[in-house]
Amino acid sequence: MQTVSQYIRHHLLNTLGYVKTTKQKPSLESLKETEWNKDFEKFMRNRLVMGALRYGLFSTKNSTTEKNIISMKNKVLLYEQTGNLECLVDIANMAQVEFTHSNHPTKHFNATDDKDHVV
Look at residue 11 in the predicted model and tell me its pLDDT.
78
C-alpha angle 45-48-50 in degrees, rounded to nearest 5:
110
**How many Cβ atoms sit within 10 Å of the Cβ of residue 68?**
20
Domain chopping of the chain, boundaries: 31-101
Does pLDDT of 49 surpass 90? yes
pTM for this structure? 0.72
Give the residue-averaged pLDDT of 88-104: 93
Look at residue 45 in the predicted model and tell me its pLDDT.
96
Does pLDDT of 22 surpass 70? no
Give the residue-averaged pLDDT of 60-81: 91
- For the four alpha carbons of 97, 103, 105 and 106, in that order, the dihedral sign comes to positive
Question: Which segment of 40-44, 78-82, 100-104 scores lowest on mean pLDDT?
Answer: 100-104
Give the residue-averaged pLDDT of 78-90: 98
Look at residue 81 in the predicted model and tell me its pLDDT.
98
* Residues 6+ away with beta carbon under 8 Å from 21: 14
What DSSP designation does 105 have? T
76, 70 Cβ separation under 8 angstroms: no
Q: Could you give the 3-state DSSP secondary structure of residue 87?
A: helix
